[in-house]
Amino acid sequence: MTSITIADPRLQLIANARYFYQQGWMLGTAGNLSACLPDRSFWITASGKSKGELLLSDFVRIAADGRVEASASNSQPSAETSIHQVIYRIFPESQACYHIHSIEGNLVSRLVTGDSLPLPPLEMLKGLGVWQENPRCVMPIFRNHLAVSQIAADIEQRLTVQPPQIPALLIRDHGITVWGASAEACRNYIELLEYIFRYIVAASKLDINTHSEQ
């Protein structure tokens, strides 16, 4: 049986999930969060759980090889566990991986038809590790599939060959996934990207209004 200590990463996941729920980014049972352990196994939110009311028992522990190591009340792991596995495999320095659903995230994924989203050169990019002056930064976009394993395979195939400029990706009409060296870093990345997405949506509306007045 896994012991519960003050350092249990599930406690931070619960706090962040509740915060994201309050922002409207993990409504209902949407989204999933995970945190890596020293042996490269990881805790991930169980399927079908409200992210605003998570308990320590609402997580499933997944071994590095994908086996379920621990699960309370026979809970099933998130349907998107395979994406977390791929992220931890491609980016072994990562200690957490977060996936949320937001209105702005889905809207910006519809503003382009290609496989990447250009990001405006905002100051916020520094928080995502982009320090160039007037940077040309893009965020990878992946097609959404009913079979999550196909999304995970697409992510692994592309990002292994072409590492992203920022620790994040977007699944069209689905949501964003970020990864980082800590739970705190992932929360920051989510907040920064949501700010950038709101900016993009507002700018697109401004552009439409400007053209309609001409």
Contact in structure between 84 and 32 (CB atoms under 8 Å): yes
Spatial distance between the Cα atoms of 122 and 105, rounded to a whole number of angstroms: 17
Of 50, 57, 62, nearest in space to 73 by CA: 57
Residue 99, marked binder: yes
**DSSP assigned state of 32:** E
**DSSP assigned state of 72:** G
Q: Distance of CA 175 to CAs 138, 194, 206, Å?
A: 16, 11, 24
Q: Which residues are annotated as a binding site?
A: 99, 101
Q: Which residues are annotated as a binding site for Zn(2+)?
A: 99, 101
